[in-house]
Amino acid sequence: MDAPQRRHRRRLTILVEETDEPHRGEIGLAAEVILDLAREAGLSSGAAFPAAAGFGFGRAGTGRPTAVVVLGDVEGVEDFARAMALALPSGLITLDDVEEVVPVAPPDPVGDAPARPPLRLVRADPAPGRSPS
């Protein structure tokens, strides 16, 4: 069995405040727009998650915080981060390095069955001076 492939990637996390109230299991408009812009910029890997209140979000009369995470090559993510920093009136943007591990799929035991796609795992390196926990 071949060894898994490792690629150095850059991860961009954007915390935005959603003012709309999407249905359960859906993402809000701000996160959807950011993910669409990321796809247009050629960054194919992205997701949105509800975020914990904080960073100035969650005040009375405001929306809920959402974390949008985009993964891609270093140059593409940094260019996209600069564009988002100019476009977002408020929010928190962080960048960090990750090592993407793409394992090789094992051979399928059934001859004619289509092979399953490999899983995509992402391991984040701890921040300098911090130990992994």
Task: Work out the average pLDDT over 20-44.
Answer: 78
- Amino acid code (one letter) for 85: A
DSSP alpha helices (H): ranges in 1-133?
Answer: 29-40, 74-87
Residue 131 lies in a domain: no
Exposure on the CB side of residue 26, measured as CA atoms within 13 A = 10
Average pLDDT for the chain: 71
Q: Which residues are registered as beta bridge partners of 4?
A: none
Residue 55 lies in a domain: yes
pTM of the model as a whole: 0.58
Buried b (16+ CB within 10 A) or exposed e, 38-51: beebebebbebeeb
CATH number at residue 53: 3.30.70.120
The pLDDT of residue 22 is above 70: no
Q: Strands 45-50 and 5-18: what pairing?
A: unpaired
Tell me: the pLDDT tens digits for 63-119?
677 888 888 888 888 888 888 888 877 667 777 787 777 666 665 555 555 555 554
Residue 74 lies in a domain: yes
Of 67 and 25, which is predicted with more confidence?
A: 67
- Domain coverage including residue 53: 5-105+117-124
